[in-house]
Amino acid sequence: MKTLYLLRHAKSSWNFEELSDHDRPLNNRGRHDAPLIGRELLSRDIELDLIISSSAVRALTTASLVAKELDYETSRMVIDENIYGASKEELYRIIQKTSDAVDSLMLVGHNPDISDLANMLSPEHIVDMPTAAVVSLRFTCLSWKEINQENAALLFYDFPKNHK
**44 appears as a binding residue in the annotation:** no
**58 appears as a binding residue in the annotation:** yes
**144 appears as a binding residue in the annotation:** no
Quick one: how far is CA 94 from the chain centroid?
A: 13
Q: Distance between CA 63 and CA 77 in Å, rounded?
A: 8
**97 appears as a binding residue in the annotation:** no
**8 appears as a binding residue in the annotation:** yes
Determine the residue type at 21: D
Question: Is 42 buried (19+), middle (13-18) or exposed (0-12) by CB count in 10 A?
Answer: middle
**13 appears as a binding residue in the annotation:** yes
Closest CA to 56 of 110, 106, 105: 110
**56 appears as a binding residue in the annotation:** no
Q: Would you call 150 helix, strand, or coil by DSSP? A: helix
* Helices 88-96 & 113-121 angle (0-180, nearest 10): 60
Residues 117 and 86: beta-carbon distance below 8 Å: no
Binding residues for substrate: 8-15, 58
Query: What residues form the annotated binding site?
Result: 8-15, 58
